[in-house]
Amino acid sequence: MSWALNEFFSAVEEEFGVPIGEADDRFLETPGSVIDFVVENSSPSDGLDDEEYRDHIAGVVGEIMARTLGITRYTEDSRFFQDLRVR
């Protein structure tokens, strides 16, 4: 895995308190899969419903991608290596 993705995943772990390091790299190959992983391994603390919580996670993951990877334009099914060219 590239240093940039390591930084991205570390920031996601720190932000949400979800241990991503134990997840299968192939499973987390798109922003959408990272969002789903965080949603499935955490719970809302602000009384958000499921859709609002996922939207919140997606927004924060997007901010982390911009900060750590410099990526601001993507779709949830964009692949980090092939489509977004993260190296």
Q: How many CA atoms lie within 13 A of 35 on its CB side?
A: 23
Q: What is the pLDDT of residue 25?
A: 63
pLDDT in tens, 18-27: 998 766 666 7
Q: How far is CA 82 from CA 5, 13, 53, in A?
A: 13, 23, 28
53 part of a folded domain: yes
- pTM of the predicted structure, to 2 decimals: 0.89
- Give me the domain span that covers residue 10: 3-69
What is the Rg, in whole angstroms, of the alpha carbon atoms belonging to the chain? Answer: 12
Nearest to 87 by CA among 79, 45, 48: 79
Question: Does residue 62 sit within a domain?
Answer: yes
Token duo for residue 72: 């601001």
Structural domain includes residue 39: yes
Domain count, the chain: 1
- 79 within some domain: no
